[in-house]
A and B are shown apart, each in its own frame.
Chain A
């Protein structure tokens, strides 16, 4: 096949069609593709290529498939893009990945709308008053060099979302090149508390959770079918779990204050007073009666009567759970974001994790994850604590130059942090971005990125499903816009400005990536294959599977240091707890500009294109609120006006507003739809990790007097089947599951 020498200008210049073909030729299954270009014959921009006289392997109307990695969230599912006539049309899961085994979530499906989004930034933009003025890349790079000139490492900050793989390495090297340690990794809704709690309980931040091996899953607000950690992976496990281990159908008990998608799928959904998840966990340990030593001592006070009173979960219900846990093993207990979002979030998570230990699940359903043997490529995971640190620095005027990539804190930071104001104090702000989001709008220089379907990269997922793997990201088609650049290429160009000698052998990020992979061919399973063959195979598979050891897992954390506060009393002024919910499609709002997701109904409320506040019907009746009432949700840090939706799956003392909407920028499909609850969050932090306690905001709700018709799929019959057998259901003792024919996957 071709040799690497023919690969030129993969970034930095518009693709040359023939070169592009070759690159993909390596990766693809012996078929290449041709582009129809992105103009048209009419506007004179199209390169007219006859299908009768085509490039080597191209068969018009026949699709070709290339593997890459989904960039819609950090779970790292592998995808296969369907390409026809040079355009990527559809993304499917790559069956070879243990993470997603050929499947995707709805968010992943919408990846093409990230790529084809009409609101992508197409040129480097330099701030000129309120306007962005298009400039050349050369000028942009020169400007950055100029701004960095004479600035010390401490005065430079680099804010990113979660990064991993070679990009992380390159970024680290870049920061090193001016001696800066200021890499702030920020994830607005990442499982930051959980990581810390897991580290304490199990010795690792992210063990494997084998839902498929459990007979009972007791989940404290872990929305593993929705937005939690690796939802496609867990959904597949869940399906197996439902089919049963040894013919016994798995039982899911979900404990939370606001019903998540996972809660909606539970055999028993238990509403719990917000923040008392840990108390319930200790109560269950106590009722199990199997704990000994310091654990037994720690849970002694948590008798059923007290726990029931504190949590609102009845004693009979606790008995039933205990009986179930005793009868069916192994089980699995999950501590989800709902339990973590409090000032005592770490304590909640620790108490819940303790339950796994007591039940003997550690090592069975909680297993050690495989380690990627390249620590420098391991994911840099983020949290709000990092943002807080950055924010303090900005406030103190510490930073002369701020880079931001894959994070949108102006949208996601709690309003009370005044991040936007503090950001203005940075001298020069550079945003690497796909769209003009809220943060890019504040930047001085906006550098447009290639879409995830045009760019090269490697990714190491935080949650490893089975063996360790490195995911390959490769272009699925020619660039849509001539003047966007890959993040890797930009970093390479920037680092060359500082360490030209070290990097001059890499024409572009592609060359860097290839060289870096081939350098470790042995460790990456390349064996004796020649470089081209190995590289081609790697691209073709889209995944590098690694033989590697697993982390050591410890299951003996004990109950030391465990102390859970009594449930907080209701605040007379702000009587309701605000639960900002994380929706599987919109997450922290970075994908809100993908119209398929805007129009994909929220599974529980079926609302589209707007935000809503969930209120329990009983509470709503008390407040005289009906569906569609525009209510004002007021907390200590401001208020938002949003339509009400009466929702039975929420604690009457809590309300819930989904995150992700309420953009003031981000393009036509995002801007102006819904409200942004991040804006009114109270600045309460987890006592141990310093992480933002997402669920600690207290609010009150008042009617504004106006009312709208809620735009949703559900009709006037609501969730009623009107006595018809539409979505039917059987109790488990009425089915013979063992006699069924099952197909999972």
Chain B
């Protein structure tokens, strides 16, 4: 322990979006979500509860805004003043966008939320002191705080229900922040297996829980660095580049005919989740 160590290694303590001298290697986890496929069915959200030990807070606490859904499905309506939403609704699965330059990370006083070398915004529950600055600064408001001690709250995990808890995922006590982790426990297992076998994780070896459940296959997850991965190919086909805050294709006259976009790119968090725009038939 020394200050000199701190000074020497400071840059290593923090990983941000890839710069030339620190590229993501060999992993950069990323996602794409096809809004034209997503039906808004909520299966992903429930799967996340099951996988990640999310507490069910109950009606009263939900009413107070304490819901813990790491994955929330938002429903938007058109706003052109028509009597009926005759083009349906717009659904948006929203969870932590695993920003490369995450606004939540820089502000955390204790470094409890920080960047992993493989590009995930991680959350260290043990380190978190509950200042909630991270959520204050998250543009997407996808961080969820343990306002109460859910493990000891009535009817959250009463006897037997507690046996369902995933032993690979911490049960969070009161006072810490949490959020979607890209199912880091699954990623870790896959990485370790690959490491033991002296190879890299291959595409499709690790699925996030939401992806695995999703009946429409709207969610794709994988290693953006791997040129063979589906997620890489999708990003590439959509000409969305991770390290850009405005995509070249969007500068074209009349907009691009590609559907890929990232939410709030202009705020420069460099999110790792690309959405594909929903399509609506023009002929009817």
Contact = CB atoms under 8 A, between A and B. Distances in A.
B88 interface: yes
Given A261-B41, A649-B85, A729 B277 contact: yes
Interface in B38-91: 39-43, 45-47, 49-51, 56-59, 62-63, 67, 69, 72-77, 79, 83-91
B200 interface: no
Contact of A731 (B51, B69, B282): B282
Contacts of B166: 89-90
Interface in A54-106: 61, 84-85, 87-93, 100, 102-106
Q: How large is the interface on A (under 10, 10 to 19, 20 to 34, 35 or more residues)?
A: 35 or more
Contacts of A90: 50-51, 166, 209
B89 A604 contact: yes
A253 interface: yes
B91 A734 contact: no
Contacts of B230: 741, 743
Interface string A108-134: 111011001110100000000000000
B213 A104 contact: yes
A727 B46 contact: no
Interface string B7-34: 0000000000000000000000000000
Contacts of A243: 37
Contacts of B155: 118, 595, 668-669
Given A93-B213, A730-B280, A718 B77 contact: yes
B218 interface: yes
A253 B284 contact: yes
A113 B46 CA distance: 11
Interface string A533-577: 000000000000000000000000000000000000000000000
B40 A736 contact: no
A477 to B, nearest CB: 9
Given A596-B56, A608-B62, A727-B76, A238 B233 contact: no
A215 to B, nearest CB: 11
Contact of B220 (A263, A480, A743): A743
Nearest to A618: B83
B279 A729 contact: yes
B1 interface: no
B217 A729 contact: no
B216 A239 contact: yes
B283 A600 contact: no
B109 interface: no
B160 interface: yes
A268 B84 CA distance: 11
Of B51, B63, B284, most buried by chain A (CB within 10 Å of CB) is B284
Contact of B237 (A232, A251, A739): A739
A175 B132 CA distance: 63
A57 to B, nearest CB: 18
A104 B215 contact: yes
Given A116-B164, A584-B41, A725-B261, A269 B216 contact: no
B46 A106 contact: yes
A106 B45 contact: yes
Contacts of B215: 100, 103-105, 231-232, 235-236, 239
A729 B90 contact: yes
Q: How large is the interface on B (under 10, 10 to 19, 20 to 34, 35 or more residues)?
A: 35 or more
B35 to A, nearest CB: 6
B258 interface: yes
B134 to A, nearest CB: 20
Nearest to A729: B278
B277 A730 contact: yes
A106 B279 contact: no
Given A225-B41, A269-B86, A609-B62, A744 B217 contact: yes
A321 B164 contact: no
Contacts of A61: 167
A118 B159 contact: yes
Interface in B213-261: 213-218, 220, 230, 233-234, 236-238, 255, 257-259, 261
A87 B81 CA distance: 52
Contacts of B281: 249, 251, 267-268, 731-732
Given A264-B89, A599-B57, A603-B42, A113 B213 contact: no
A266 B88 contact: yes
Of A87, A270, A729, most buried by chain B (CB within 10 Å of CB) is A729
B273 interface: no
B3 interface: no
B51 A728 contact: no
Contacts of A610: 59
A242 interface: yes
A444 B55 CA distance: 37
Nearest to B232: A741
A108 B278 CA distance: 26
Contacts of B57: 599
Contact of B283 (A85, A254, A324, A709): A324
A265 interface: yes
Given A105-B43, A106-B41, A721 B88 contact: no
Contact of B76 (A100, A595, A719): A719
21 contacts: A106-B42, A108-B43, A109-B47, A231-B215, A239-B37, A239-B217, A254-B88, A267-B284, A268-B87, A269-B88, A320-B283, A599-B62, A604-B75, A618-B83, A649-B84, A713-B69, A726-B263, A727-B275, A729-B280, A730-B259, A741-B236
Given A242-B36, A726-B74, A730-B278, 8 more contacts: A87-B164, A92-B212, A242-B37, A584-B42, A595-B56, A714-B75, A735-B277, A736-B258
Interface of A: 38, 61, 84-85, 87-93, 100, 102-110, 112-113, 116-118, 120, 225-226, 231-232, 235-236, 238-239, 242-243, 249, 251, 253-254, 259, 261-271, 320-321, 323-324, 327, 480, 584-585, 595-601, 603-604, 606, 608-610, 618, 648-649, 668-669, 673, 709, 711, 713-714, 718-721, 724-737, 739-741, 743-745
Closest CB pairs A-B (n = 3): A235-B215, A719-B77, A609-B59
